[in-house]
Amino acid sequence: MRKDVRILLVGEPKVGKTSLIMSLVSEEFPDEVPLRAEEITIPADVTPERVPTHIVDYSEAEQSDEQLYQEISKANVICIVYSVNNKKSIEKVTSHWIPLINERTDKDSRVPLILVGNKSDLVEHSSMETILPIMNQYSEIETCVECSAKNLKNISELFYYAQKAVLHPTGPLYSPEEKEMKPSCIKALTRIFKISDLDNDGILNDNELNFFQRTCFNIPLAPQALEDVKNVVRKNMSDGVKDNGLTLKGFLFLHTLFIQRGRHETTWTVLRRFGYDDDLELTQEYLFPLLKIPPDCTTELNHNAYLFLQSVFDKHDKDRDCALSPDELKDLFKVFPYMPWGPDVNNTVCTNEQGWITYQGYLSQWTLTTYLDVQRCLEYLGYLGYSIIQEQESQAAAITVTRNKRIDLQKKQTQRSVFRCNVLGARGSGKSGFLQGFLGRNLVRQKKIREDHKSYYAISTTYVYGQEKYLLLHEVLPDFEFLSEADLACDVVCLVYDISNPCSFEYCAKVYKKHYMDSKTPCVIIAAKSDLHEARQYYSLSPLDFCRKHKLHPPQLFTCNTDEAPSKDIYTKLTTMAMYPHAKLRCMCSCNRCTFCICHNLLNSELVRSVKAKLYSTVLNSHMTQADLKNSTFWLRASVGATVFAVLGFAMYKALLKQR
């Protein structure tokens, strides 16, 4: 709503413009009336709408035409004053003043007009018969008021209507010629109805109506008041009430009735509560609330936001198959001014066999949007009415800003739930297949993806030590010379090469040495298309030797050419490395080359198992008595034996490590 209102009074000389202003201020008719009253400001606390109001007088004797034009351009509402006992002043309303004002204002945003018939105390008849045809001719005329500055009749009402014409204008809502609401108003109220219809059954039941009433007006409706409202709708239309609830048609009818009865403020209160401005557009303040994001911090949805999105999903998943069909998805986004998700989204998140976005995929896409473009996420949540349904100040309450990544590295722990993995590799190395494999799609399913529906992102969940985390894979285009800081910034890096292409690994080696060799970002080499024959790479070092030289994990074999969904082990490993970049990651590949595998194999080797078995057998066959167990000499011998075994095990480990 506007922060202030500027009212301009114009009209022929001697019609009483100045007298009206002075009578309002002094609450009595002035004995002496100047040619023009000075601009006055009525404080917000004494106006019905609690908005400061500026009242400006015009005098033909004191002001030039240019000054008049300036005042017209600054006015929010213009009162055209005529004398009810002067026909010439009435004629001038249409022959001079309305054309003059329209010439000086934009056609698409006409300033509202109030026709003011002053000096009603001098006549016994009304001028309304003459004025009504004028009101019907000009849609910008909000209303007409007959008043008297002398006996103070309707003075306060005049300025209240003028203020109301600005704060609650009829123009954007209603067409007097067609006697129905305008399409833009119907569209806005339809969105409001759909948001308020919490169970998406096309009806506002008593609980939903009460929630709507409390949200907009801060007070619930009494049961009898609810029935009265529904009875009014029943009397006027057959399909306005269904199953004792208000339908969309009934909801729109009620607001049409409010407007026709001059209660525009009711409809405007609803519209503004749901984020609309005077042009029935959602305001920038509503869609994009302030959210400060420090450097090196990321954005995630919090628990309440996920619960809200879950309720939105459940509301539109009519067949309860845990996936959104194209029609269900379209219905969900009817509260948006455009379709926010394109066909690429179906190749970014998990879908079912029919290609429909699953519940997990739906939440994953919201997580991706929040991470990559939080402003767009705020906009989308605004369209869904998050702040209204959740009773929050704004949808910024749905966002968690994570702490600086440097602090996570220092403390060697993180509370983050979303981790980014950049996937780099030469053209044709298998990057896209690696992304789609994360979504459970083998090569057969991947071949069905159209080129124009391809996505450079893939996101889904993995479990690390029992915790659910999101891993966001980003395929970085292989233009080596044009890699920006944004392309490189991530939590873990995947360098993908095609084992069947002898030229493929060189790109990975160059990217690693140029960008990641001295960084703290963990890296993994992916040997893609492992179902094909392995070719010798032309690079000076083999991929395995390169990994040994730079103390990387050995190349991880990966293929999408499987009967079932590709294995997700590598994605879990990537998420773990992103969460614990400084930790010596426990190997999950059984490669027999890394430290973990050597230790693991040593502890489970035949030699160690046989020694442990012999020791256990010796203890059992010694027939030790209770006194022997209490003997300190026995425990001394046992301690020495345990120490010897520990030293022997460590020596064997060092020997094996040196040999490899």
Tell me: pLDDT of 271 over 70.
yes
Contact 310, 366 (CB under 8 A): no
Which of 463, 490, 461, 488 minimizes the C-alpha distance to 477? 488
pLDDT of res. 581: 86
Tell me: pLDDT of 629 over 80.
no
pLDDT of res. 583: 65
Listed in sequence order, the DSSP H helices in 237-300 are 248-260, 264-273, 284-287
Percent of the chain with pLDDT over 70: 87
Helices 303-316 and 374-384, packing angle to 10 deg: 50
- pTM beyond 0.85: the answer is no
- The continuous run of DSSP H or E covering 457 comes out as strand 457-464
pLDDT of res. 329: 97
Confidence of residue 641 (pLDDT cuts 50, 70, 90): low
Average pLDDT over residues 311-320: 96
Tell me: pLDDT of 578 over 60.
yes
Coarse DSSP helix, strand, coil percentages of the chain, rounded to the nearest 5 percent: 50, 15, 35
* HSE-up of residue 29 (Cα within 13 Å, Cβ side): 10
Percent of the chain with pLDDT over 90: 68
> Which amino acid, 256?
T
pLDDT of res. 411: 86
Which of 217, 294, 414, 80 minimizes the C-alpha distance to 209? 217
Tell me: pLDDT of 22 over 70.
yes
Tell me: pLDDT of 140 over 80.
yes
Q: How far, CA to CA in Å, does 257 sit from each of 169, 174, 214? A: 15, 11, 21
- Distance in angstroms (rounded) separating the CA atoms of residues 93 and 113: 11
pLDDT of res. 638: 53
Which residues, other chains included, contact 615 with Cβ-Cβ below 8 Å and sequence gap of 6+? 641, 645
pLDDT of res. 304: 97
Average pLDDT over residues 247-251: 97
Average pLDDT over residues 18-23: 94
> Which amino acid, 157?
E
Which of 322, 353, 352, 357 minimizes the C-alpha distance to 341? 357
pLDDT of res. 104: 86
Which of 379, 373, 386 minimizes the C-alpha distance to 310? 386
Average pLDDT over residues 336-340: 96
Confidence of residue 46 (pLDDT cuts 50, 70, 90): confident
pLDDT in tens, 427-472: 999 999 999 999 999 999 999 999 889 999 999 999 999 999 999 9
Which of 170, 128, 168 minimizes the C-alpha distance to 145? 128
Tell me the torsion sign for CA atoms 202, 204, 207, 209. positive
Tell me the torsion sign for CA atoms 431, 437, 439, 441. positive
Most confident of 134-138, 220-224, 529-533: 529-533
Which of 307, 309, 304 minimizes the C-alpha distance to 392? 304
- Distance in angstroms (rounded) separating the CA atoms of residues 200 and 313: 11
Cα 109 to its chain centre, rounded Å, is 30
- The continuous run of DSSP H or E covering 72 comes out as helix 65-74
pLDDT of res. 645: 58
